[in-house]
Structure 1
Amino acid sequence: MTTMTRHRRQAITGVTALMAAAALAATGCESAANPPHSPQSDGGRGQLVQAEHLRTYTVDDVRKALGDNGFDAGATQFGVETYRLVYRTIDPGGRETTASGLLALPTGVGHELSTVAYEHGTQPTKADAPSVAGDGGDVPAVLTYASAGFAGVAPDYLGLGLGPGLHPYLDVPSETTASLDMLRAARSEATALGQQLGGKIYATGFSQGGPAAMGLARALQNGADNSWRAAAVAAIGGPFALRSVQMPAALDHNTLDPASAGFYAAYFLVSWNHLHHLYGSPSEVFQPPYDATMDQLLDGSHSGDELHQGFPESIDQLLTPHAVGMLRNPTGTLADALRVSDSTCTDWTPRMPIRLYVGEKDTDVAADNSSQCRAALQQRGADAPIVDVGPVDHNGSGIGGTAQVARWFTQLEAGR
């Protein structure tokens, strides 16, 4: 989840329009010496459809990009080459589709690379996904890990970046399959570029990406692809307990920002209605005039300004009593789907170190999400220490947490 508020405007202001993203996708940052290539074969999950070189960053370029976005460049050691990958994967129904993502490789590293799989936070606009976001959005986080000597791999998820259709927001199963297949595509492209990705995956994610990172690590531990193993997980500001923590906090107005809460609730309801058919008409869950606008507004094509202007200042002005009741006391299909979404801390015993990071002033994702996640893991015999990022808001936790995670992963990689 990204911020909405001041918060909301930060999350959606400055997002490039979809037309610009399409133009970027067509041209990239290519030179005649580095044209896009389209591997040809008979298909398969994780197979590259297209790879495009985006940019060469010197060490100084990385430091500038990080500094311009408020990130700590203290872990920077290498320059970075970035690539946009389009690859084959599956949709939530198991049907073939494609997705895109960002690959960032450090330059001048002669040994086999371990990989940081970075799972991004909430993006309501296709053009804000990592592979099409330029130097903004989640790109500085990926640059942080790559410039520290890791391969940085960031899936856009389904329906974002250059992916077709709508994004299945907060759908852990499809986040997991899209991430696994992005890792496969990244390994293929890295090999073609003369670099080798080893078997260790350090999984991390911010906000929406927190449960996504846990889901990826769980899948790898359970044998989803035996060519990799999850070496560690670091989750920053993750909504691990939608039913028992996040939704009550959003509806009770005593913890979370009401404008952010409204945005996240709307994105959730629209997306999960496409996935699980929660309601027959938008008027069942959205008050007028928003019942006539939410589906279109959240289709991934609207700019930051359009999104900002399209939402009220409070969740109370947005949701109907019926919607509030659905979210407060989920039943049926919604309850079943929430059990799946909220299982990333509850239905497995991790065999790798895990850390959870929270910001003291986060009013987008309740800190009790991480507390409950830790408690659930402890019940299964695993611990996940909670790291206080300091007196920062949601975005600040993502920025500050990235620096701390990079240091931790580097220490683990060095065997310290």
Structure 2
Amino acid sequence: MIKYTKIFLLPLIILFYSCGENPFESQPVDVIERGEIVKILSEYDVSQAELNLLFNEFDLPGGIEINLRNGIKVISAIYRTIDYNGNPADASGLFVIPKTQGIFPLISLHHGTQSKRDNVGSQSAMFSLDALVAGALGYVAISPDMLGLGISNLVHPYHIADVNANTSIDFIRAVKKYASQNNIQLNGQLFLAGYSQGGYTAMAVHKKIQNDLSNEFAITASAPMAGAHDLVGTARFIISNNNYERPSFLAFMIYSYSRVYNLGDLSQFFQHPYQNLIPTLFNGSLTTEEIDGALPNTLSQLFNESFLNSMRDSSEQVMTNLLQQNSLLDWAPQSPVLIVHGNADTYVPYQNAIAAKERWEANGAPNVELVTINGGTHTSSIIPAILTAISWFEGFRIEMGNYIYASR
């Protein structure tokens, strides 16, 4: 549930001197199938020297350096997927191709909470820095915007597992087809990762592929970071106190569920005047920080008293059942999983990491590791978590150009 901070903005200005749009006309609607690119919005190259200049601007913890291996091609695109009801819909995203010879693994990277429609990779690469790094390390990297963001005008299905899994998987399909059509060789490996909401989405994708699409995809490994896998437990943790410093997060989830699942009037969830204000706040024009400024931190002022009390005493059924339906504890990932979480996280409680590891292993998951960032908050853990995941993934890499890696 975190956004990339403004520290990334200044260095990325360097990148945009290299940008050049190269759109082509969309194909007729009736010939575009699910999992295909509809239109390229922009594409441009970034050299290894430019990338080194960019990332040298970062003050990484412990003097860590990112040893980039190659330049990249950055592509923003619209692709065909489905909406909440299974109807054809268009979504957008960014993907990155290594500018070097080799046979590449594919990695799908999922962003944290975004409420402003333009604050995603297809609109600005500053919101997909992890994909730029992965591409420069020799991965074909994808960063889906998700429904309701980028070019999509739908309500974003915030923490709704199957919908977000479908959107991400269709972008994987689209990029694989692009690679095949452009003589870009993939080695068959597929990695999944994300931070905060992205950590949750990564595991929603993992579950969907394992349960329904194992004949189409084989997951090499997943690294969910600071994800809310236990949605019921997370909601109860937040409302156990009457104050929450990021009210936009909980309001976003309740609003999204009410619209995707057609739950009726918002007054059953929100106090006056917020039941009327919420749709405007989440219309895609505001950041979560701006929305936080328009909402009270005191939950009893924001939420309907009856709803809040019933959530607290566990008597509420409708929302609780939907949160349970979208939680990701009751399954057993069969591919290796690395959970990374800071134990001082007050946005997404660290208990999510403990519960996920315990439940997945109890259900039969053979390889789940947990790395705890001691004293790490939701914000301070971002860079250490991503660097930990990158290092862990490298142990699974089997081939990239002249680089050969041992497969675990």
Both proteins in one fold, TM over 0.5? yes
Deviation at 1:120, TM superposition (A): 1.3
Structure 2 residue aligned with 1:58: 47
**Which of the residues 71, 89, 95 maps onto 1:103?**
95
Please list every run of at least 4 consecutive aligned residues from structure 1 whose deviation after the TM superposition is greater than 6 angstroms: 10-15
**Which AA in structure 1 matches 2:122?**
S
Give me the whole-angstrom Cα distance separating, in 1, the residues matched to 2:316 and 2:333. 29
**Which AA in structure 1 matches 2:66?**
G
Deviation at 1:186, TM superposition (A): 0.9
TM-score using structure 1 length: 0.85
Structure 1 residue aligned with 2:26: 38
Given that 1:59 and 1:77 are in contact with CA atoms closer than 8 Å, whether structure 2 keeps it comes out as yes
Q: C-alpha offsets along residues 296-348 of structure 1, whole Å, 9 cap, x if unaligned?
A: 10121225664243122333432222231354326444233222211x2312x
Give me the whole-angstrom Cα distance separating, in 1, the residues matched to 2:8 and 2:294. 16
Change (3 A) 1:66 1:361: farther
Residue 259 of structure 1 pairs with residue 248 of structure 2: no
Structure 2 residue aligned with 1:181: 170
Q: C-alpha offsets along residues 247-301 of structure 1, whole Å, 9 cap, x if unaligned?
A: 12111239xx7121x2111101111100123342x33322333233111101212
**Larger RCO: 1 or 2 (CA < 8 Å, sep 6+):** 1
Structure 2 residue aligned with 1:7: none
Structure 2 residue aligned with 1:93: 85
Please list, as runs of the form range in 1=range in 2, the aligned pairs for 1:231-270 lying within 5 A after superposition.
231-243=220-232, 245-253=233-241, 258-260=244-246, 262-270=247-255
**Which AA in structure 1 matches 2:385?**
G
Residue 114 of structure 1 pairs with residue 105 of structure 2: yes
Change (3 A) 1:312 1:346: same
Give me the whole-angstrom Cα distance separating, in 1, the residues matched to 2:251 and 2:53. 36
**Which AA in structure 1 matches 2:239?**
L
Look up the SS of the partner of 1:270 in the other structure: helix
**Which of the residues 115, 119, 127 maps onto 1:128?**
119
Structure 2 residue aligned with 1:381: 364
Deviation at 1:396, TM superposition (A): 2.5
Given that 2:78 and 2:91 are in contact with CA atoms closer than 8 Å, whether structure 1 keeps it comes out as yes
TM-score using structure 2 length: 0.86
Look up the SS of the partner of 1:36 in the other structure: coil
Give me the whole-angstrom Cα distance separating, in 2, the residues matched to 1:146 and 1:314. 43
Residue 317 of structure 1 pairs with residue 301 of structure 2: yes
**Which AA in structure 1 matches 2:364?**
G
When the two chains are superposed, the root-mean-square deviation of aligned CA atoms in Å is 2.6
Look up the SS of the partner of 2:219 in the other structure: strand
Structure 2 residue aligned with 1:405: 389
Structure 1: stretches of 5+ with no match in the other structure: 4-9, 16-27
Q: C-alpha offsets along residues 212-258 of structure 1, whole Å, 9 cap, x if unaligned?
A: 11121222223426342100010100001011x2112111239xx71
Give me the whole-angstrom Cα distance separating, in 2, the residues matched to 1:386 and 1:187. 31
Give me the whole-angstrom Cα distance separating, in 1, the residues matched to 2:102 and 2:113. 34
Q: How many residues align?
A: 386
Deviation at 1:132, TM superposition (A): 1.4
Look up the SS of the partner of 1:386 in the other structure: strand
Structure 2 residue aligned with 1:271: 256
**Which AA in structure 2 matches 1:157?**
M
Deviation at 1:98, TM superposition (A): 0.8
Given that 1:85 and 1:186 are in contact with CA atoms closer than 8 Å, whether structure 2 keeps it comes out as no
Structure 1 residue aligned with 2:350: 367
Change (3 A) 1:391 1:230: same
Structure 2: stretches of 5+ with no match in the other structure: 10-17, 398-404
Deviation at 1:381, TM superposition (A): 2.2
Give me the whole-angstrom Cα distance separating, in 2, the residues matched to 1:360 and 1:398. 13
Given that 1:2 and 1:122 are in contact with CA atoms closer than 8 Å, whether structure 2 keeps it comes out as yes
Deviation at 1:54, TM superposition (A): 3.6
Q: C-alpha offsets along residues 132-174 of structure 1, whole Å, 9 cap, x if unaligned?
A: 1332x3x111112111111111111111111232111111101
Q: Which moved more, 1:149-158 or 1:387-396?
A: 387-396
Residue 395 of structure 1 pairs with residue 379 of structure 2: yes
Change (3 A) 1:36 1:390: farther
Structure 1 residue aligned with 2:2: 2
Query: Identity of counterpart residues, as a percentage?
Result: 24
Q: Which moved more, 1:44-53 or 1:57-66?
A: 57-66
**Which AA in structure 2 matches 1:285?**
F
